[in-house]
Amino acid sequence: MRLVGSGVRCVRGGREVFSGLDVAVSGGELLAVTGRNGSGKTSLLRLIAGLLQPAGGSIVLEGGGAELTLPEQAHYLGHRDALKPALSVAENLAFWRDFLGGECVDAAGSLAAVGIEHAAHLPAAYLSAGQRRRLSLARLIAVRRPLWLLDEPTAALDAAGQALFAGLMRDHLARGGLIIAATHGPLGVEGRELRMGGGM
């Protein structure tokens, strides 16, 4: 499996963010997207996720499910944790599992994998920022999708949480998954770097 972007151009609010961008990521590979604020890191992830339309060029997932769109084969984890405060931890995860569909994994196992199984009954409003992030990460493993698009995924995670997440990323890559992560810091996993406003 391989994600290929050719000559990708992004325009937002009438301003060209980047143009002529070529990017390729193969199964089992992590691409860390770095660069200054406003250089287009988040915009690139949102283009791949189908949340923005490219102003030029193309983005395709070669070797993916022929009957599925690229966004249907990707998990997008943005800056904000998309949680409903009144729902419990388990209910939030069940909502996302049902909404995303696909190959479902045991919810309790997903919460255990991110270290918050003890909070399954608590409303999400009671969680700390780090626990909310861990619940968002549980979505990545509750429904299997080959491409993870991560925007500052370690934000709000303590050292233990970062180490745990690095292990989840290594497991995903070992299964042939792809990861593209916009980051300002190290992720604890080997990969290539794409510097926005610079080169690969």
pLDDT of res. 55: 93
pLDDT of res. 31: 95
Beta strands 30-34; 178-182: pairing state: parallel
| Domain encompassing residue 20 | 2-195
Residue 178 lies in a domain: yes
Task: Give the E-state strand segments of the chain in sequence order.
Answer: 2-12, 15-26, 30-34, 56-62, 74-77, 103-104, 143-144, 147-151, 178-182, 192-195
* pTM, two decimal places: 0.90
pLDDT of res. 47: 95
pLDDT tens digits in sequence order for the chain, 200 residues long: 999 999 999 998 889 999 999 999 999 999 999 988 888 899 999 999 999 999 999 999 998 888 889 998 999 988 777 888 899 999 998 888 888 875 566 778 889 899 999 999 999 999 999 899 898 898 888 888 999 999 988 888 889 889 989 999 999 999 999 999 998 888 889 889 989 875 44
pLDDT of res. 198: 54
pLDDT of res. 156: 84
Among the residues of 76-128, which ranges form H helices?
Answer: 89-100, 107-113
Residue 200 lies in a domain: no
pLDDT of res. 66: 80
* Distance in angstroms (rounded) separating the CA atoms of residues 141 and 172: 9
Give the Å distances, CA to CA, from 100 to 85, 140, 196.
19, 10, 30
Q: How far apart are the first and last CA of the chain?
A: 20
Q: Per the structure, how many domains does the chain have?
A: 1
pLDDT of res. 199: 45
Residue 148 lies in a domain: yes
Ramachandran angles phi, psi of 73, nearest 5°: -110, 10
Q: What is the CATH number of the domain that holds 148?
A: 3.40.50.300
Q: Which two tokens stand for residue 48?
A: 């791949």
Residue 38 lies in a domain: yes
